[in-house]
Amino acid sequence: MAIRGSILLFAVLLCCFCCYGKVEGGNRKLSRKEDLEIEKQLKLLNKPALKTIKTESGDIYDCVDFYKQPAFDHPLLKNHTYHYEVFVTTPISPNKKITDKEPAGAGEPLKIGLQGEGCPIGTVPIRRTTKEDLIRAKLFADTYASRFNPLTVQRPGLHRAIVRTRSVPAKKYNGGGGMVSVYQPSVSDSQFSSAQMTIQGGSDNIQVGWTVNPSLYGDTKTRLFTFFKAGPTFCFNTQCPGFVIVNTDIPLDSIITTISTRGGPIYDMRLFVYRDQVSGNWWLEVGPNYSKVGYWPSKIFSGLKDLATYVDWGGEAYSPLGQHGPEMGAGDYLDGDTNKDAFCKLVTTVNEAHNPEDAQNTETFSDDIRYYQVDDWGVRGQSGHVMTFGGPGPQ
């Protein structure tokens, strides 16, 4: 069932940090009402912890009872039955004939997550949220999420260099995936630079990948991130209800500690998002073994309640007007060498029969080819469909 207006209004006011009123700038003080809303949101997000883990980078993760995680505060997910044991034993992918490939020149294993110090079975890791986190997120929302649409990306300051599926009305997708190299592009406090895959259906979309985003996180580290938009509601990671975590040691928004260097060594991260045949939920898998991280329930969507109609892979960079643009990918113009250029190998779509296949009928897009480039290499043996992207940004 599509999300109805009254339910959305309740979700916007009480659940999603991204859905406050317009913010004109980072220096504006919060009103009393906005301050109270943030305090209320903190209580919803920070659940009682059975165990607390502090990472070497200083992040704090609370191990929260699976059934008490923030996802279930979503008004459309209340009073439903969830069986944790089913999630952790479900087969990894719908059909691994593509995802089993080991590309030539594949990067080093990626270190991600809590590095062996995961949460106890029956709990899931939730990054502890501070008031400053929510204030940053509130300010960032107006510069990105409230107007983001990959199909109408023309917006001052936001640049994309991507390979995307062509618009074919009859073509639909049950998901997509890829193996993206991980870098740490240079950005200023008000900028961000990301590499991601986007899946869209109607007004809904899901993004997964890595990002360097001090506006959202308060640091310039490379982090695993997710974003979803369900109608007018949008959210990063677990900062509002919607994404159900099932993994005990791969938290969303975790810092990636192994970063590629242009020319080598290269580190890459495998990502896979697919729509479950039975429930219609959209699952996220990460890492060399495609570990299940969690899922977006079909109940929260309208456009993505059915199959997707669009998928893209590549880079995204944002800078406020008047500033030099940030780096994208490996931070330089493309060289035609995946040891030097940011890449996505195994560029994959999942067809209507739930079978993964090398992405077909694709095209490149860059809104500013002078500074952000993209190449579509097509299918290259064991590497599957390959694309490269990146650039230094305007200096």
Amino acid present at 66: F
Residue 85: predicted pLDDT: 57
Contact 267, 107 (CB under 8 A): yes
Residue 209: predicted pLDDT: 97
- What is the rounded distance in angstroms from the CA atom of residue 132 to the CA atom of residue 346? 38
Residues 6+ apart with CB under 8 A from 130: 42
- What b/e readout covers 19-52, taking b as 16+ CB neighbours within 10 angstroms? bbeebeeeeeebeeebeebbeebbeebbbebeee
Handedness of CA 23, 27, 33, 39 (dihedral sign): positive
In a domain, 10, yes or no: no
Per-residue tokens: 25? 């700038």
In a domain, 282, yes or no: yes
Q: Enter the DSSP assignment of 137.
A: H
Q: How many separate domains does the chain show?
A: 1
The Cα-based distances of 45 to 15, 320, 386 in angstroms read 9, 30, 39
What string of pLDDT tens digits covers the 395 residues of the chain? 333 333 332 233 233 433 333 333 344 566 777 777 777 777 777 788 999 998 888 889 999 999 899 888 888 887 766 766 555 544 445 545 555 666 655 566 566 767 667 899 899 999 988 888 887 777 776 666 554 555 555 567 889 999 999 988 889 999 999 999 999 999 998 899 999 999 999 989 999 999 999 988 889 999 999 999 888 788 888 877 889 999 988 888 889 988 999 998 999 999 999 999 888 999 999 988 888 899 999 999 999 999 999 999 999 999 888 888 899 999 999 999 999 999 999 999 999 999 999 999 999 999 999 999 999 999 999 899 999 999 999 87
Per-residue tokens: 277? 């045949």
Contact 375, 332 (CB under 8 A): no
In a domain, 76, yes or no: yes
In a domain, 204, yes or no: yes
- The full DSSP string for 221-276 is -EEEEEEEEETTEEEETTSSTT-EE--SS--TTPBP-----TTS--BEEEEEEEE-
Q: Enter the DSSP assignment of 381.
A: G
In a domain, 195, yes or no: yes
Residue 16: predicted pLDDT: 40
Q: Using DSSP, how many helices (H) and how many strands (E) does the chain show?
A: 5, 19
Note down the domain range covering 53. 15-390
In a domain, 329, yes or no: yes
In a domain, 5, yes or no: no
- What is the rounded distance in angstroms from the CA atom of residue 204 to the CA atom of residue 208? 14
Per-residue tokens: 85? 């044991």
- What is the rounded distance in angstroms from the CA atom of residue 25 to the CA atom of residue 27? 6
Per-residue tokens: 217? 């996180």
Residue 245: predicted pLDDT: 92
Contact 308, 133 (CB under 8 A): no
What is this structure's pTM?
A: 0.86
Residue 378: predicted pLDDT: 96
Residue 298: predicted pLDDT: 93
- What is the rounded distance in angstroms from the CA atom of residue 338 to the CA atom of residue 334? 9
In a domain, 119, yes or no: yes
